[in-house]
């Protein structure tokens, strides 16, 4: 590395020294940016690690004591020892639907490192049994009989799902579920969402997401939405390589970097004489 730097500084005497240094720094910064981009992109592409106790969480009153112990250990710093919340830090968990706890724990969004962070999908901190225990504990704080929302994509209709997704979800999650931006939060892509994740998120509205009640999106409509969301993992790319289904930005990159450089190369081959 040092040798390279020295070579660069010595070998390019036609550039003023400050310019040489600036260029070298710019190159380094550029490569770093590329590496960072690559690294940040990688987890989104790769199948996410961790167990998938998708529909496996069960609410079992017998698990409540274990759940309470886990809660005190891992969650009480924000939610309080009695789960009544700490004002300005974390909300009370009384009367919270168990699906909320299940969603946050199973998708690795909780526990949070810092209270003000946006909860983002990650490796779950707890195993399936522990999650069941914690969810059972949260369920025990609310009215009995509360259930975890479910969606059954097999009963959904793709066309209805596409239509409803466009109306309710595309504004934030992008029409092919590739995620997006709302001021104040990064909206996750939905390519690794399981049907239960979708049902729970729709009903609870995690973080800044609206919560859609049954009166607005019925259970059968929810099934359709889940079916469409699963479809967006691998939509019908009749045209070839799908470029991530986010539209013109990667298309422009292909036009410039692929087509542009290929044609520049052809022009270079044609334009310079071989005989002279």
Partner 1 sequence: MIARAVRYLDERVGTSPAIKKALRYVFPDHWSFLLGEIALYAFVVLVGTGVFLTFWYEPSTAHVTYHGQYEPLQGLSMSKAYESVVDISFAVPAGLLIRQTHHWAADVFVVAIVLHLVRVFFTGAFRKPRDVNYYVGVTMLALAVLEGYLGYSMVDDLLSGMGLAIGYSVAMSLPVVGGPLAFLLWGGEYPGASSFLTRLLVVHVLIIPVALGLLIAVHLATIVRQHHSQFPGPGRTERNTVGTPLWPGYALRSIGLLLAVASVLVLLGGLIQINPIWEWGPYATFQSTNGAQPDWYLGWLIGALRLMPPWELHFGDVTLIPATFWGGALFPLAVFAFLYSWPALERRLTGDRRRHDLLERPRDNPVRTAVGAAFATWVFVAFVAGSTDRVFVQLGIAYTGQVWFWRVFGWIAPFAIFWLVKRVCEELKRTEAHPLRGWSGAIAELGRGGDSAGYTAVEQSRESPGSRVGRRGDPPPPPGA
Partner 2 sequence: MTEDESRRVVAEGRRAEALVSALLVLASLCAAAFVVLYVVHDDTQLLGLALGLTFACLAVAAIVAGKRIVPQETAVEERDRLLRPQEVEEVDAIVREGGEGISRRKLLTSAAVAAGLSAGAALVVPAASLGPSIGDRVRETPWSTGRRLVDRQGRRYRPDDIEIGTFYTALAEGANPNDLGSSLVVVRLPEEQIHLPADRRTWAPQGILAFSKICPHAGCAISLYRYPLYQPTSERPALTCPCHYSTFDPATGGKLLFGPAGRALPQLPLMVDRDGYLAARRDFPEGIGPSWLRIERNPPGESQ
Start-to-end CA span in the chain (Å): 41
The answer to whether residue 61 forms part of the interface with partner 2 (CB under 8 A) is no
Q: Which two tokens stand for residue 142?
A: 């609310």
Q: Which stretch binds partner 1 (CB under 8 A): 13-21, 83-91, 123-131, 139-147?
A: 13-21
Which residues, 6 or more positions from 205, have their beta carbon under 8 angstroms from its beta carbon?
211, 212
Q: Give the three-state DSSP class for 126.
A: coil
Which residue, 51 or 210, is less far from partner 2 as judged by CB? 210
Which residue, 66 or 160, is less far from partner 2 as judged by CB? 160
Strands (E), 183-229: 185-187
User: Which residues sit opposite 185 in a β-bridge?
Assistant: 182
Torsion angle of C-alpha atoms 203, 180, 90, 113, degrees rounded to 10: 130
The answer to whether residue 259 forms part of the interface with partner 1 (CB under 8 A) is yes
Contacts with partner 2 by CB under 8 A: the residue count is 40
Q: Give the closest residue to 246 by CA, choosing from 156, 187, 186, 176.
A: 176
The answer to whether residue 97 forms part of the interface with partner 2 (CB under 8 A) is no
Which residue, 64 or 232, is less far from partner 2 as judged by CB? 232
Which residue in 22, 27, 34, 35 binds partner 1 (CB under 8 A)?
22
Q: What residues numbered 178-217 form the site for partner 1, per CB under 8 A?
A: 178-183, 186-187, 189
Which residue, 211 or 264, is less far from partner 1 as judged by CB? 264
Q: Which stretch binds partner 2 (CB under 8 A): 18-26, 140-148, 206-214, 221-229?
A: 206-214
Q: Give the closest residue to 71 by CA, choosing from 119, 122, 139.
A: 139
54 binds, among partner 2, partner 1, none (CB under 5 to 8 A by kind): none
HSE at residue 159, side-chain half, CA atoms within 13 A, is 0
The answer to whether the Cα torsion of 253, 255, 256, 257 is positive or negative is: positive
Which residue, 54 or 158, is less far from partner 1 as judged by CB? 158
Which residue in 42, 240, 249, 268 binds partner 2 (CB under 8 A)?
240
Decide if 125 contacts 194 (C-beta within 8 A): no
The answer to whether residue 5 forms part of the interface with partner 1 (CB under 8 A) is no
116 binds, among partner 1, partner 2, none (CB under 5 to 8 A by kind): partner 2
Which residue in 180, 242, 244, 250 binds partner 2 (CB under 8 A)?
180
CA 201 to CA 215: how far, in whole Å? 16
The answer to whether residue 163 forms part of the interface with partner 1 (CB under 8 A) is yes
In this structure, what DSSP letter does residue 9 have? Answer: H
The answer to whether residue 171 forms part of the interface with partner 2 (CB under 8 A) is yes
Which residues, 6 or more positions from 62, have their beta carbon under 8 angstroms from its beta carbon?
136
Q: What residues numbered 68-87 form the site for partner 2, per CB under 8 A?
A: 87
Q: Give the three-state DSSP class for 181.
A: strand
The answer to whether residue 89 forms part of the interface with partner 2 (CB under 8 A) is yes
Binding site for partner 2 (CB under 8 A): 87-91, 100, 115-116, 167, 170-172, 180-185, 204-213, 215-216, 238-240, 266, 269-270, 273-276
């Amino acid at each position: 590395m040092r040798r390279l730097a020295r070579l660069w500084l010595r070998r390019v005497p036609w550039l003023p020294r400050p310019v040489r240094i600036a260029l070298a720094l710019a190159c380094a910064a550029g490569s770093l940016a590329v590496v960072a981009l690559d690294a940040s992109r990688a987890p989104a592409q790769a199948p996410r690690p961790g167990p998938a106790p998708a529909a496996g969480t069960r609410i079992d009153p017998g698990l409540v004591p274990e759940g309470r112990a886990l809660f005190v250990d891992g969650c009480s710093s924000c939610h309080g020892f009695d789960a009544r919340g700490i004002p300005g830090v974390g909300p009370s968990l009384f009367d919270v639907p168990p699906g909320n706890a299940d969603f946050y724990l199973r998708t690795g969004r909780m526990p949070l490192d810092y209270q003000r962070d946006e909860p983002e999908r990650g490796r779950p901190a707890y195993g399936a049994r522990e999650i069941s225990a914690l969810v059972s504990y949260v369920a025990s704080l609310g009215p009995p009989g509360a259930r975890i929302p479910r969606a059954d994509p097999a009963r959904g209709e793709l066309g209805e799902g596409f239509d409803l997704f466009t109306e309710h979800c595309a504004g934030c999650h992008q029409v092919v579920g590739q995620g997006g931006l709302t001021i104040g939060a990064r909206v996750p892509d939905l390519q690794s969402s399981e049907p239960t994740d979708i049902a729970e998120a729709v009903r609870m509205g995690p973080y800044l997401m609206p919560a859609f009640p049954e009166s607005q999106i019925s259970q059968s409509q929810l099934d359709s939405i889940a079916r469409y969301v699963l479809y967006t993992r691998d939509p019908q790319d009749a045209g070839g390589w799908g470029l991530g289904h986010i539209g013109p930005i990667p298309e422009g990159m292909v036009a410039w970097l692929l087509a542009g450089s290929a044609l520049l190369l052809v022009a270079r081959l044609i334009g310079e004489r071989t005989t002279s």
